[in-house]
């Protein structure tokens, strides 16, 4: 059971979507597509659903061809058996919840059969008592559940979720993410598009990262967070501290933007160009003699449950070595007066910068 995509679509003189991937075949494995706005995530979903047509390539679901430019196959959206949940849910404003869900069914069913099926989904998604309400009378979470029910009543082979939480406030977003986890359990062929690393980490077993219309890297979600490999993937997964390096030994580097000599846990290959460390992975220095630095704080800020400290290396010799470094820690930890930090070698990312269009950053 898998979705296979290998397509090319020119969107402008300067932007071409070129993406190729195949989902895994494990039950309940959701593929997340993570990337910045405008990178081609939503367009990829629209091509799978048949809303847009690629210029060339192949799209298939479980071996059934939906699009093949070489054989001039391009199935209409209505017959692709693909469920698509839009960012704004796209409910019909003048229809009730019941009518919206019934609208998802093909015309082969009788009116009574359509109502029976729709009411079953209304019950499953906790919408009983709301079936006669119009979308404007529903909360964001209720609208999302109604849209999911309308999508699933057609029993699609593949499910495409396009930024499904973007219209929800923080509390409702977290509630719906928990419900989505239950919804995704034991379902196959689900693709979730998002620009939120938190959503993809929580919901998706597999991760595909995209930038500027192309695939950067694909793999198990937690493994890509542990070992992003590329500067661009490290950025997408939330790594704020990235510096170009000079290799000084088999397991030794000098971080040029931080003025730091560092010991790594792994050998530094010839292809490594950068090092990264997540803002949460610093620790107060103890008896360690390597990978420690004295901080020169620039500013502090307090989030609801975290302290954020921006600092530079106090021993930096020039402006090039004084790029800002982020440190985040729990407000419940007594770190306010810490002046020296330790960087665990196993927490360092060894990265390659394979995108010449994107300059190195801190």
Pair 215, 338 in one domain:
no
- Is pLDDT above 50 for 24? yes
Question: Of how many residues is the chain composed?
Answer: 362
What is the pLDDT at residue 360? 44
Residues 66 and 108 occupy one common structural domain? yes
Residues 276 and 175 in one domain: no
Choose the final residue of a domain: 232, 254, 276: 232
In a domain? residue 362: no
In-domain check, residue 71 = yes
In a domain, 358, yes or no: no
Judgement on whether residues 185 and 302 belong to the same structural domain of the protein: no
Q: Is residue 320 part of a domain?
A: yes
Last residue of a domain, one of 199, 232, 265: 232
Instruction: Note whether 260 and 154 are same-domain residues.
Output: no
What is this structure's pTM? 0.88
In this structure, is residue 311 part of a structural domain? yes
Same domain? 302 vs 206: no
**In a shared domain, residues 228 and 246:** no
C-beta atoms surrounding 248 within 10 Å: 12
| Nearest CA among 353, 142, 85 for reference residue 228 | 353
- For 243-277, the pLDDT digits (tens) are 999 999 999 999 999 999 999 999 999 999 999 99
Q: Are residues 146 and 274 in the same domain?
A: no
Instruction: Say whether pLDDT at 36 is over 80.
Output: yes
Residues 277-292 pLDDT 10s: 999 999 999 999 899 9
Domain assignment present for 346: yes
52: number of Cβ within 10 Å: 16
The answer to whether residue 203 is domain-embedded is: yes
Residues 212 and 341 in one domain: no
Instruction: Out of 203, 232, 261, pick the residue that ends a domain.
Output: 232
**Structural domain for 27, as ranges:** 3-232
Same domain? For 221 and 310 the reply is no
If you average pLDDT over residues 137-163, what whole number do you get?
Answer: 89
356 has a pLDDT exceeding 60: no
Whether 80 shows a pLDDT value over 70: the answer reads yes
Residues 217 and 258 in one domain: no
Looking at the structure, do residues 226 and 93 belong to the same domain, yes or no?
Answer: yes
Is the model's pLDDT at 195 over the cut of 60?
yes
* Residue 360 lies inside a defined structural domain of this protein: no
pLDDT at 309 over 90: yes
User: Which H, E and C letters describe the chain, residue by residue?
Assistant: CCEEEEEEEECCCCCEEEEEEECCCCCCCEEEEECCCCCCHHHHHHHHHCCCCCCEEEEEECCEEEEEHHHCEECCHHHCCEEEECCCCCCCCCCCHHHHHHCCCCCCCCHHHHHHHHHHHHHHCCCCCCCCCCHHHCCHHHHHHHHHHHHHCCCCCEEEEECCCCCCCHHHHHHHHHHHHHHHCCCCCEEEEECCHHHHHHHCCEEEEEECCEEEEEEEHHHHHHCCCEHHHHHHCCCCEEEEEEEEECCEEEECCCCEEEECCCCCCCCCCEEEECCCCCEECCCCCCCEEEEEEEEEEECCCEEEEEEEECCCCCHHHCCCEEEEEECCCCCCCCCEEECCHHHCEEEECCCCCCCCCC
CATH number of the domain enclosing 207: 3.40.50.300
Tally of domains within the chain? 2
């Amino acid at each position: 059971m898998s979705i296979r995509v290998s397509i090319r679509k020119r969107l402008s003189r300067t932007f071409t979507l070129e993406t190729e991937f195949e989902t895994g075949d494990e039950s309940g494995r959701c593929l997340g597509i993570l990337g910045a706005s405008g990178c081609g995530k939503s367009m990829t979903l629209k091509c799978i659903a048949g809303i847009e047509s690629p210029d060339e390539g192949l799209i298939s679901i479980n071996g059934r061809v939906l699009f093949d430019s070489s054989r001039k196959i391009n199935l209409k959206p209505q017959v692709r058996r693909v469920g698509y949940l839009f960012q704004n849910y796209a409910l019909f404003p003048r229809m009730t919840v019941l009518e919206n869900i019934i609208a998802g069914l093909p015309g082969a069913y009788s009116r009574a059969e359509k109502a029976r099926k729709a009411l079953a989904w209304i019950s499953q998604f906790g919408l009983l008592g709301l079936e006669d309400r119009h979308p404007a009378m529903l909360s964001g979470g209720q609208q999302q559940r109604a849209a999911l029910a309308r999508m699933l009543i057609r029993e699609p082979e593949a499910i495409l979720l396009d930024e499904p939480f973007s219209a929800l406030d923080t509390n409702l977003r977290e509630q719906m993410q928990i419900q989505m986890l239950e919804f995704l359990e034991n379902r196959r062929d689900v693709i979730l598009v998002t620009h939120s690393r938190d959503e993809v980490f929580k919901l998706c077993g597999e991760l595909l990262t995209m930038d500027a219309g192309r695939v950067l890297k694909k793999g198990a979600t937690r493994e890509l967070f542990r070992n992003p490999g590329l500067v661009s993937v490290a950025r997408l997964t939330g790594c704020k501290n990235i510096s170009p390096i000079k290799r000084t030994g088999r397991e030794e580097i000098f971080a040029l933007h931080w003025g730091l000599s560092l010991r790594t846990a792994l050998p530094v290959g010839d292809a490594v160009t950068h090092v990264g460390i997540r803002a949460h992975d610093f620790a107060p220095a103890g008896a360690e003699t390597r990978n420690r630095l004295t901080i020169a704080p620039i500013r502090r800020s307090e989030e609801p449950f975290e302290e954020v400290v921006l600092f530079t290396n106090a021993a930096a010799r020039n402006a090039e070595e004084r790029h800002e470094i982020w440190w985040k820690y729990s407000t419940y930890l007594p770190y306010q007066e810490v002046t020296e930090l330790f960087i665990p070698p196993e927490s360092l990312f060894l990265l390659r910068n394979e995108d010449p269009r994107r300059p190195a950053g801190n």
